[in-house]
Structure 1
């Protein structure tokens, strides 16, 4: 629900910052002003994840969750990044099967073969290159950083504070690198490895690590509810049940009327597992699906976004990932990587290192990938759960090293994707709130225990 205090506006920016006098696009921006103008410090920009996530209604989503002392200090500002939602949108007009949730990640065939993934990746790249339009070529993290700076200018702010989550941490890190003098207080929540040679590709690869870090939390939860779900009496048994069930569905899928695709395969189960590990609140969804599959149905219905939203999100995600960095195109090398990763990380079955459409992207990156460095003010606070399935703690530590003394790291002994006011703990929340409210930043990296 949109809070009645939320105001909306548009900011016009160049489609191509290399040709600033050319075509313009619109960015949809929203704001909820602080109710205590006398205590106001500035704005807190809420940078969404994805890439491809909408942020226009984030002020309404967070105004009831953020601490009062923080709301007293900042106007909350949200936006839809270029190409997304209510900003000038893009779409590749992909076939429905290519935007099926189970196909958004390149799950190999049951025997590990990637020939089908290669065909799909090539088709998606060719379709986006043909039907995505001119804007798709100018969707990148560096351009999002430039857009953020145009939003800052439109708001009349000399400097800007922001809270980026997931991919939003990379956009925030790139902004802090390109416009360090324009940053005030920076919170990067659930960061990926910013290695400029492996941006995007490295994030995908880290799913193998992150899921292995996080799955034991789900397994322990399910084992404690063995009488309800029947997945195993201890965590080891639950893991074995998942692997056995996925392998069985690889061999003999179950019909799943109304789903896309309309059958439950091993890879559909695996693709359902990924978002279910983002929060403990989603554990029952995964456990319920496993229980139903073990009984051969009926299978529960799963909500899915409308097709236009899925088309839009997919196009922006692909455009960002492919335009940000060069991807290797060797099919043979990808097959070798998949073969190794299936053994090292059986829960994700080789998907994280498989081939993506970017291997066949028709447009080379227009700019070099940004290298995050220690140059700039020491005003960055990173927060990350120890058991994050998407942005594992090991990757966040690499972001910490890239920033050097510009940053401090708050490691939270918790699981899930997103730490501050989400899946973290009171210690981590207090530390982030103190930093945003009065600038108190730990002198050293800290570990917030349970």
Structure 2
């Protein structure tokens, strides 16, 4: 019997343990602190990073991706992208890429690149849960591809604070409720931004516009004539910038 067509996304009642990025409870005061930190990140062009596992070494040929098996049923690769698309002498950033092919895939359409938004959320971690996030009808027709944009997760990171400085930041008052506390919160955020500028070279090139251009190299590396893309939240803005820069390559 042919299965009835279903929505693009599916939201099961509970997710497996590995989806802890989206299910971990958080006190409301800590949410406010994270919102303040996120504001500083947006103002500075920074994105938070997480502990990373090694990804395959990328080939110098950015038109190809060298895939290796990872995380069981997934494939991982590293894409080399220019730090500055107008000045090749600055070198390259590494972009971590992951791909999932459903074991029941048939009548393949192509690759579907997904981005969970943020900015600052790992596309690698999101893609690792593709089989629980996307509808089976989608999984059976597309390779699901996730990537960590420059500065995020397992891609070339942004370095801001050491462990002690992070502890001090998160120990600060997360809920300012008078002028003095608001002023101190702004001082703390400015200090955070200054540390990012101090500890990360080429920080001005960790931008959404550059990430959109990286997606064009990703399309080429995947061997696709068009980019099929699904972004959520901030990811919709990333997709919009790509479409503006490469309108003829939109799937």
Settle same-fold status: TM greater than 0.5.
yes
Q: For residue 11 of structure 1, what is the aligned residue in structure 2?
A: 79
Q: Distance in 1 between matches of 2:84 and 2:207?
A: 11
Structure 2 CA distance for partners of 1:160 and 1:52, relative to 1, 3 Å: same
1:274-293 paired onto structure 2 within 5 Å: none
Aligned partner of 1:160 among 227, 233, 240: 227
Q: For residue 183 of structure 1, what is the aligned residue in structure 2?
A: 250
Q: For residue 132 of structure 2, what is the aligned residue in structure 1?
A: 64
Does residue 186 of structure 2 align to residue 118 of structure 1? yes
**SS of the residue 1:39 aligns to:** coil
Q: For residue 133 of structure 1, what is the aligned residue in structure 2?
A: 201
Structure 2 CA distance for partners of 1:6 and 1:130, relative to 1, 3 Å: same
Q: For residue 141 of structure 2, what is the aligned residue in structure 1?
A: 73
Q: Distance in 1 between matches of 2:201 and 2:136?
A: 44
1:250-289 paired onto structure 2 within 5 Å: none
1:20-35 paired onto structure 2 within 5 Å: 20-35=88-103
Does residue 121 of structure 2 align to residue 53 of structure 1? yes
Q: Deviations over 1:386-408 (max 9, x none)?
A: xxxxxxxxxxxxxxxxxxxxxxx
Aligned partner of 1:151 among 199, 218, 222: 218
TM-score where L is the length of structure 1: 0.37
Instruction: Show structure 1 runs of 5+ residues with no match.
Output: 185-450
Deviation at 1:35, TM superposition (A): 4.1
Q: Distance in 1 between matches of 2:89 and 2:129?
A: 36
How many residue pairs match? The answer is 180
**SS of the residue 1:4 aligns to:** coil
**C-alpha contact 1:93 1:132 (8 A) present in aligned 2:** no
More helix by share: 1
Deviation at 1:36, TM superposition (A): 5.5
Deviation at 1:142, TM superposition (A): 0.2
Structure 2 CA distance for partners of 1:37 and 1:68, relative to 1, 3 Å: closer
What RMSD over aligned residues (CA atoms) do the two structures have, in Å?
2.3
**C-alpha contact 2:169 2:188 (8 A) present in aligned 1:** no
Q: Which has the larger radius of gyration?
A: 1
**SS of the residue 1:78 aligns to:** strand
Q: For residue 294 of structure 1, what is the aligned residue in structure 2?
A: none
Deviation at 1:54, TM superposition (A): 0.9
Deviation at 1:98, TM superposition (A): 5.5
**SS of the residue 2:112 aligns to:** strand
Q: Distance in 2 between matches of 1:176 and 1:33?
A: 25
Structure 2 CA distance for partners of 1:64 and 1:116, relative to 1, 3 Å: closer
Does residue 112 of structure 2 align to residue 44 of structure 1? yes
Q: Deviations over 1:135-171 (max 9, x none)?
A: x221010011011111111001111111111221211
Structure 2 CA distance for partners of 1:101 and 1:169, relative to 1, 3 Å: farther
| Higher normalized contact order (CA 8 Å, seq sep 6+, divided by chain length) | 2
Aligned partner of 1:173 among 240, 243, 249: 240
Instruction: Show structure 2 runs of 5+ residues with no match.
Output: 1-17, 19-69
